[in-house]
Each structure stands twice: as structure tokens, then as C-alpha cells.
Amino acid sequence: MTEPKIEEVLEHIWTHEEEFGKRASRDMVSQWIDPQVADAVLQDMLRQKLVHMYNSLIVLTATGRKEAEQVIRRHRLAERLLKDILAVKHDTMDSSACEFEHFLNDEVTTSICTLLGHPVRCPHGKLIPPGECCQRAKKILRPLVLSLLELTPGEEAKVAYITTEHHPRLDRLSSMGLLPGTAIRVHQKQPTLVIQMGETQLALDEDIARDIYVRRSH
């Protein structure tokens, strides 16, 4: 099975071009993956017409570029998911995202992208290649998922996710019943933000409210 290796090499080629603005070369492959299999993997990629060689330079074909973009997209979305939703620390995030990306099929990738509100950049600040879902979302003028702070009094929404990195804060919010899926209504914004959840009214600090993402009920 060279498939995960191929994805890894595609990812490296793409990142190399992104970072240095030039093509990767044949000898780099054995630095990226186990040199024992580097040649076999490259041969496989040539056979599958993902790349072709120009002297010792590796050139992505249209198919190869498309596939590489998908791998990058999955990787960077996985990073966002791990960081924003699961609040995983930076060093763990890097290795987990690499493992994770290989398990994401198109459907799951689209769901994650939509859940995260079609993010443009990964936590490292690099661009996430957009998918079809992102193009479609652009046409909708009102974003589906937005920060609780952006709602106006009287507006109703459901909690989509909470991005806070502070676990105690997250625990406190969930113990108050503020969980993904909870329906809320903005009661007032001045002098303090107060939201209504069922029978309960809850005053929230601005910096907490900023971390709470909601989906508007239309």
C-alpha cells in the first residue's frame, strides 16, 4: 500500500511549491519519506499520472495538483478542528492532523468545513484550499455560523461550537447548559449581554461570548 505515502509526497510537493515558489526535485522525496520506498512511490505516482518528471524536477499534473490540494485541505481543516473545537495543544495538533487527514473522506471534510464556517486559514496562518462548500457558502450573504456577539437583541440561534482554549471556562459554560445544539435568544446587549436559554437568563462577559459560535435560526 503506497497510497498514504503518495498522499504524503503530494503534500510535500505542494507545500514546497507554496513555500519556495519552485518545483521540488527527485532527491527530496527520500528526505520526506523512507528512502527505501521513495523510488517505488515516485514510480507509482508517475504511473498514476499524478506527476511527471522534467529532468530531476517533479511537476504536478492537473490531476496531481487537484489531489494534492485535497490532501492539504483535509490536513489544514483537521488542524482547525483539533485546535478550535477540541482545543488540542499546538505540538499535539501537528502530529494528530497528519494522522487524521488520511481518514477524512469528501463528505466528512465538507461537514467539518461547514461546521467551522468555511475557514480561510489554518492555525499556522496558511491558506486552506477552498472546496465546493466554500464557494456555495460565499453566495449566502448572511453567514450561517457567527459569533454570539454579532447577534442583535431578539435574535434566536443555536450554539454551534465554542472555541475557548480554557477548559475551566468551557466546563462552566456546559454546566450551565450552554452546549452545542442549545437554543438561545439574545435578551439584551447593553449594559451587559444577557441571553435567554429556556427559562434561564444568563449574563455573559464579552470575551466569553466572542468564543461562542452560533447558527442563526431563520
Q: Quick one: which segment of 11-19, 83-91, 111-119, 143-151 binds Zn ion (CB under 5 A)?
A: 111-119
Peptide bond before 191: cis, by omega within 30 degrees of 0?
A: yes
- The radius of gyration computed from the CA coordinates of the chain, to the nearest angstrom, equals 22
Q: Is 73 in the site for Zn ion (CB under 5 A)?
A: no
Query: Coil, strand or helix: which one is 153?
Result: coil
Q: How far is the CB of 13 from Zn ion (least distance, A)?
A: 17
Q: Return the residue of 37, 46, 85, 133 that touches Zn ion, per CB under 5 A.
A: 133
Instruction: Tell me how far CA of residue 138 lies from CA of 110, 119, 128, 144, 161, in angstroms.
Output: 14, 12, 15, 11, 21
Q: How far is the CB of 20 from Zn ion (least distance, A)?
A: 17
Report the site for Zn ion in 75-94 (rule: CB under 5 A): 79
Cβ distance to Zn ion smaller for residue 133 or 149: 133
Cβ distance to Zn ion smaller for residue 116 or 162: 116
Which helix (H) or strand (E) element contains residue 99? helix 90-100
- Taking the C-alpha atoms of residue 2 and residue 13, their distance in angstroms, rounded to an integer, is 16
Q: Is 134 in the site for Zn ion (CB under 5 A)?
A: yes
Q: Quick one: which segment of 2-10, 64-72, 101-109, 110-118 binds Zn ion (CB under 5 A)?
A: 110-118
Q: How far is the CB of 121 from Zn ion (least distance, A)?
A: 8
DSSP state of 218: -
Long-range CB pairs of 41-47 (<8 Å, 24+ gap) are 41/2, 41/5, 41/6, 41/9, 42/9, 44/2, 44/6, 45/6, 45/9, 45/10
Q: Is 124 in the site for Zn ion (CB under 5 A)?
A: yes
Cβ distance to Zn ion smaller for residue 82 or 148: 82
The answer to whether residues 185 and 193 touch, using CB atoms and an 8 Å cutoff, is: no
Q: Is 118 in the site for Zn ion (CB under 5 A)?
A: yes
- Number of residues near Zn ion (by CB under 5 A): 8
Q: Footprint of Zn ion on this chain (CB under 5 A)?
A: 79, 113, 118, 122, 124, 131, 133-134
